[in-house]
Amino acid sequence: MNTLVTLDDVIEAVQEALVNAEAAGEARRWDDLEREAFAHDIATSYVARRARQAIESGATPMDVAAESDVIRRALAAYFHAGKFQVLLEIPDVTDIMVNGPDAIWLQYVDGRVVRHDERIFADGDDLRAEVAQLARRAGGTERRFDDGRPLLVVRLPDGSRLAAVMNVSPTPQVAIRRNVLPDASLDELVERGTIDQAMRSLLAAAMAAGMRTVVSGETGAGKTTLVRAMTEVLPVDTRIVVIEDTRELNLGADPRRGGAVLEWETREANIEGVGEIAQRELVRHALRFNPNWLIVGEVRDGDAAREMLLAMQHGHPSLSTVHHHSALSAWKKLAQYVAQGREAVEFSIAALLISDAVDFFVHLGRDRSGRRVVTEMCEVAGWNGAEVQLNRLFVPGADGRGLPQPHLSDARRSRLRERGFDDHLLLNPDGWWAR
């Protein structure tokens, strides 16, 4: 007799019991905690029954530690991120790359990339089914992962972002980006060496003054972490509208904010091709909800960029991010978006809009050791008839970390001082890095 109780065995037992409870009408009254408690009882009873059967047949049952482990993993898989939950629970992992059911790689916070030896998915069909299940029940809106919609991006219950693709390779492939600093403040980012004290002081004052900032960086640079930390400065009753393609900031999970955060997610069209809600529509609609702050997750197209910049131009305190390689030229990426939108304008006019709408560009990159850091920060100084003019407030040093420059304009210097910024911090050419 096979005495080993597998993960799939326990999940199947839990699923069968919950289906039966739903059919009998019992489970309809349960909240999430009661449902998980019921499932834990079922899993424990199932494993105990298998142990008794092993003993009665003269075989050696699993030890207590192994039984507890398989129960824990089964419940985590069923109620959280499915079979991916095992990978998400590995400490200090920032990226999970599933190149196939038998090819899983993990990237750690120190930059190491290690192959994961444990087999989690039986085959490509098993991997596809697991992703499709997450698409249906994870995130804020139901999504599809099938032949008609072979590309997927979805937020997992822990805030991680899962991207998947199928039908373009022999097996489905998955990439998961974990946020290892979900609740970091600006002070914590100083301690971790992501920003220095001068940056912390300037960003905090800019938020308090309602200034408009665009954070740039490449994939995995830490844009979401920095934006979330910047919002920690705002009073807890601040009315914030957050618009994202896939919910990542998760500001509404902060119980201190008492429901003051509205989190909106774009929606794909259904199988009939209707029901799509685009980023540009949500940005325009958000202004009718009287936000104190508007936060737009990564801007990806011209129409959304135009709507966001118009909101900023009208004075709405705003934050947004853009995928780019430099603060010095991030405005060009936005201008290209606007110039190519459905209501296209000349590039120079797009630049004029940006010069009137944005106060600061902040860029995240990596220092010489590979650590995520703010490398640049620029103040928007005006428009020369063709391009946006910038004052460079922080420039990359020899090791890649941003070093202060005394080029802040008098007008913004005055406003920032009123909000607690010490502009003398910009006079130290070596910066104020804690580590």
What domains does the chain contain, in order, with CATH numbers?
Answer: 7-85 (no CATH), 90-177 (3.30.450.90), 186-427 (3.40.50.300)
Tokens of 409: 């304009």
The phi and psi torsions of 96 (rounded to 5 degrees) equal -120, 120
pLDDT per residue as tens, the chain (435 positions): 455 777 678 878 887 887 788 777 777 677 778 888 888 898 898 888 888 888 888 888 888 888 888 888 778 767 778 889 889 989 889 899 999 999 999 998 877 899 998 899 999 999 998 898 788 766 556 678 999 889 998 888 888 889 999 999 999 999 998 877 667 899 999 999 999 999 999 999 999 999 999 999 988 888 999 999 999 999 999 999 999 887 888 888 788 887 899 999 888 777 777 788 888 899 889 989 999 999 998 888 888 888 889 989 888 999 999 999 999 999 999 999 998 888 778 999 999 999 999 999 999 999 988 888 999 999 999 999 999 999 999 999 999 999 999 999 999 999 999 999 999 999 999 999 986
Tokens of 394: 């922080």
Contact 295, 242 (CB under 8 A): yes
Residues 342-373, buried b or exposed e (16+ Cβ, 10 A)?
eeebebeebbbbbbebbbbbbbbbbbeeebbb
Amino acid at 410: D
Q: 3-class DSSP state for residue 285?
A: helix
Amino acid at 304: A
Instruction: Indicate the helix (H) or strand (E) that contains 97.
Output: strand 93-100
